[in-house]
Amino acid sequence: MKPTLYLLAILLIILSGCTQNYKTLTNQAYLTDDSHGMLDRHKFYQNDSLNLTIEIPWDDSNYSTFELAYFMPRKRQRHVLSITKVNPKKDFILYMDSWNMIVLKKSNINLASFRPYNVEDTTIINYTPLKSTKQIFRKTIIENKNKLIVKNDIIPFGKDYISVISYDQHESKGGYTGIDISNPDDIYFYGEDYLRTLKIAKKTAHYINTQKRFINVNPFTRLDEYFKYGKYNNYRAATLGAEKSSQYHSNEDQQMYEQALATYYSFSHEGNESDSLWRILTHQTHDTIFKQAGSIDDLLKRVDSSQIVIFNEAHNCPQHRYLVGTLLEKFYQKGFRYLGLEAFFNDSLLIKKGYPTSGNGFYLREPVFANLVREAHKMGFKVFGYDSDHNNTREIDQAKNIYDKTIGKDPEAKVLILAGYAHILPNNMAGKLKAISGKEPLTIDQTYTYLHHLNNEVKNDQAYIIQDQGLKNKPDVDMLLWNDLVIKNNCFSLHESRSVKINVPDSVMNNTTVVCIYNKNEYPYSDKNIPIPVILQVIKNKKTNIELSLCTGEYMILYLDDYGNILSKESLHI
């Protein structure tokens, strides 16, 4: 059957940690496929022995992306070798063999970083269909302490070249062994294989028919790779990963995927997508009617008699952080000087820089969380992290960390804590902290109404205490809150702000664009600690302008594409 050629992408392998970069001069590619009308969109194809994966995210534009990675199943590690966005118009052939190799035919090869590799058997090298010379070139792409070797061999093929990326992993009890260019039998066998590859791609069809989806990588790790595209992070990571659900087959894997996706949608403030996924994840279908039992002022009155106050949050719901931000000044006036945050790290980095960065933790990527840290630090709170990496002892470790950083050294300290979900329950961190400190914490739950999708009798943009009598499975906390606040600006309305209309540059109007607004004093950055935007918005459908409310200050606006590339930038004074 005549192979159908599909437009793909340039192979650009730049592996961090190698002494030399691997580059080809060719800038276009075709994928051969003998059996499918079109390769499925956004899927991974994994070679069982090679453990190299290729992602083929086709789109309808003139550009496509191509990703090559290798995976070490025992350590659950996945390493990206290349991510490239190209204009696919010319010609070379990519072929993933059902053996342990990837084969490419290329028009141009830069051999500067390869070394000559001689083969003695001239009969094999002069194999007529291969039309090769005696000289072969080799470069080791990866060689590490785990005895993994990924190598690249180049064999001349007429005016072109054949490039073979192959795999070796030698273990005491055996293991997979890649092509040995020095072995005449291997050369003969694979020489025939190359020829078939270039003509009918028969084995490609066989491989794709028998492939296994790439399901071993943790979805959070997968989306983290997307998020780190570009210099200023890529807030379209969830969109890039949104069509990967079919690769996760077990319920556990699927739930982790949905949780990861909901979290990353919350980073980009695409709340509808995040909430929809969370409803699927929590399997909540019933509604509960409830009534207001008190206001936020009533909550603040109860704070007067408490030395420790703990709010919880859903990690993918920025409104929960926003409420705490609106109350910072009230808490400060009541003598609270400590703000403890789950999943906040590297306290000294905040003190050094004066503002949060990506180096302060995973959830700091979400702008409201970063703004909470900014305002608290500016106000005079001692912002600290208290989390633990030890799952078996996490609750007691968190409690000890809070105590040691606050009441343990300052017995009169008043402490405000923001924790995730169930950490505020008596059997968890909150109860452990009470036992250690002798202080009764005031526990305030925001997640019950969020997880149970309670019907709101009152109009939106409010937060208040609800009546808890008769509610099913209500948590053992001091009060339950409804929080349906609208995120109004980047300073929790603690300072003067005004509404501004930002005209989208013509040069980016045809793209789905992320508008990221940074404090100008935080932009640009010179180290690995990437600044967090104070506010962002995803714009689609050729939108010509956006309206935002910003607090007074100097800002830098970046317009970023789906891959974190800067399309345009401009300054803004409020």
Q: Are residues 47 and 103 in the same domain?
A: yes
Q: How far apart are CA 424 and CA 63, in angstroms?
A: 49
Is residue 306 domain-shared with residue 437, that is, in the same domain?
yes
What pLDDT does 161 receive? Answer: 59
Distance between CA atoms of residues 72 and 68, nearest Å: 14
> What DSSP assignment string belongs to 183-198?
-HHHHHHHHHHHHHHH
Closest by Cα among 231, 341, 288 to 468: 288
User: Is 204 exposed, middle or buried (CB count within 10 Å of its CB: 0-12, 13-18, 19+)?
Assistant: buried
Beta strand pairing status for 338-341 and 382-385?
parallel
Q: Do residues 425 and 507 share a domain?
A: no
- Residue ending a domain, among 188, 210, 232, is 210
Could you tell me if 268 and 206 lie in one domain?
no
Tokens matching residue 514: 């992320």
| Phi, psi at 335, each rounded to 5° | 95, 5
In degrees, to the nearest 5, what angle opens at C-alpha 537 toward C-alphas 536 and 538? Answer: 135
Residue 466: inside a domain: yes
Do 70 and 125 lie in one domain? The reply is yes
* DSSP notation for 290-315: --EEE-HHHHHHHHTT-SEEEEEE-T
Is residue 286 predicted with pLDDT exceeding 90? no
What is the number of structural domains in the chain?
4
- The 3-state DSSP composition of the chain as helix, strand, coil percent (nearest 5) reads 30, 30, 45
Task: For residue 490, tell me if it sits in a domain.
Answer: no
Q: Is residue 287 part of a domain?
A: no
Q: When comparing pLDDT for 535 and 57, which is higher?
A: 535
Lowest mean pLDDT among 185-199, 454-468, 515-529: 185-199
CATH number at residue 531: 2.60.40
* 489 within some domain: no
Model's pTM, two decimal places?
A: 0.66
Residue in this structure with the two tokens 């997968």, named with its chain if needed: 222
pLDDT of residue 223: 82
Closest CA to 240 of 228, 223, 217: 223
**Residues 193, 97 contacting (CB under 8 angstroms):** yes
Q: How far is the C-alpha of 557 from the C-alpha of 536, rounded, in Å?
A: 9
Any idea which residue has 């054949």 for tokens? 162
Pair (424, 338) in one structural domain: yes
Share of the chain above pLDDT 70, in %: 56
Instruction: Looking at the structure, tell me whether residues 418 and 466 fall in a common domain.
Output: yes
Among 193, 210, 227, residue at a domain's last position: 210
Left (φ > 0), alpha (ψ -120 to 50) or beta: where does 7 sit?
beta
Q: For residue range 555-564, what is the model confidence (pLDDT) as tens digits?
A: 999 999 877 8
Question: The CATH number of the domain where 383 resides is what?
Answer: 3.40.50.11550
Q: What's residue 438's pLDDT?
A: 98
The domain containing residue 31 runs over which residues? Answer: 4-210
Residue 488 in domain: no
Over the stretch 336-388, which tens digit does the pLDDT of each residue have?
999 999 999 999 999 999 999 999 999 999 999 999 999 999 999 999 999 99
What's the whole-number average pLDDT of the chain?
71
Question: What is the C-alpha to C-alpha distance for residues 321 and 476, in angstroms, rounded to an integer?
Answer: 21
**Could you tell me which residues are beta bridge partners of residue 170?**
none
Decide: helix, strand or coil at residue 432: helix
- Three-state DSSP at 53 gives strand
**How do residues 175-206 score in pLDDT, each as one tens digit?**
333 444 444 444 444 444 444 433 322 233 23
Shared domain for 193 and 223, answered yes or no, is: no
Same domain, 205 and 342: no
User: Is 300 found in the same domain as 420?
Assistant: yes
* Cα 89 from chain centroid (whole Å): 30
In this prediction, residues 137-153 reach a mean pLDDT of 59
Burial class of residue 320, CB neighbours in 10 A (0-12, 13-18, 19+): buried
Q: Cβ(11)–Cβ(29) under 8 Å?
A: yes
Give the whole-angstrom CA distance, residue 296 versus residue 444.
11
| Cα–Cα dist 18/255, whole Å | 36
- Among residues 433, 457, 483, the one where a domain terminates is 483
The tokens for 188 are 């003969």
Residue 114: HSE in the Cβ half-sphere, 13 Å Cα cutoff: 20
Give 222's contacts (C-beta < 8 A, 6+ positions apart).
78, 241, 244, 260
- Considering the domain architecture, whether residues 464 and 362 belong to the same structural domain is answered as yes
Q: Where are the alpha helices (DSSP H) in 96-183?
A: 122-125
Confirm whether 566 is domain-assigned.
Answer: yes
Confidence band of 418 (pLDDT split at 50, 70, 90): very high
pLDDT over 50 at 307, yes or no:
yes
Cα gap 257→281, rounded to integer Å: 9
**Does 470 lie in the same domain as 336?**
yes
- Show the beta-strand stretches assigned E in 390-504: 415-420, 442-445, 463-466, 479-483, 497-503
Rounded Cα gap, residues 413 and 31, in angstroms = 64
Residue 27 has pLDDT above 50, yes or no: no
